[in-house]
Chains A and B, each alone.
Chain A
């Protein structure tokens, strides 16, 4: 049933893309904040 494929596929693509992006955001966050002292990070 083509329908199910499209539907599951869409959900996978959607949340997959979000997950990949979120992963990259977090990785980059850790990498850039690694060398910074706390006063440069106003959220801490």
Chain B
């Protein structure tokens, strides 16, 4: 197996991604469990936070103002579950070890699982945005759509990369369910900060200017690149036994 062959790696990655997505399609766990969970979280946020503002001069309700942040928070919680799932299917039958023994490049494995996560997360985030439109009174302005879409892509890649990386670190160990949130949530803080600010700018929440959002997208983009690269390099040592 030639380890330097990028095309083989890419093709293998797509195979792995396809495998993960097919498992999901067959079991429908993300659709049947994670998606309802994330919507329930959005509803819970409303229970906790919905009050008419007592502050004069504030037109938006509190929920409208914090809607972007809530969408990303719900995404983060769902990410944790999706990652557990992504590696749960591997650990159960020792499938990850089998793949390694068969000579699959760690980088291909990393990108395959990351891409599968990206697909699932991206759909989830879209649905959460729709939920916010319905439940929180959020609205999307046409001028912000580009920023919205690019943020959506960059943040999802960053989150999926981190999830796959730390999921791989904890796979097969006892206590990984409780450890994964502790490891992942601090790490994705830049994405939470950056993506929330970018979406606020895109939607015009709280009167934010569209132009203010692009630097934040920069933060998210750098994060995605850093962890994409970091994950590619680090995944090998992590899953090697």
In-complex A–B contact (CB below 8 Å): no
Residues of chain B whose beta carbon lies under 8 Å from any beta carbon of chain A: none
Residues of chain A whose beta carbon lies under 8 Å from any beta carbon of chain B: none
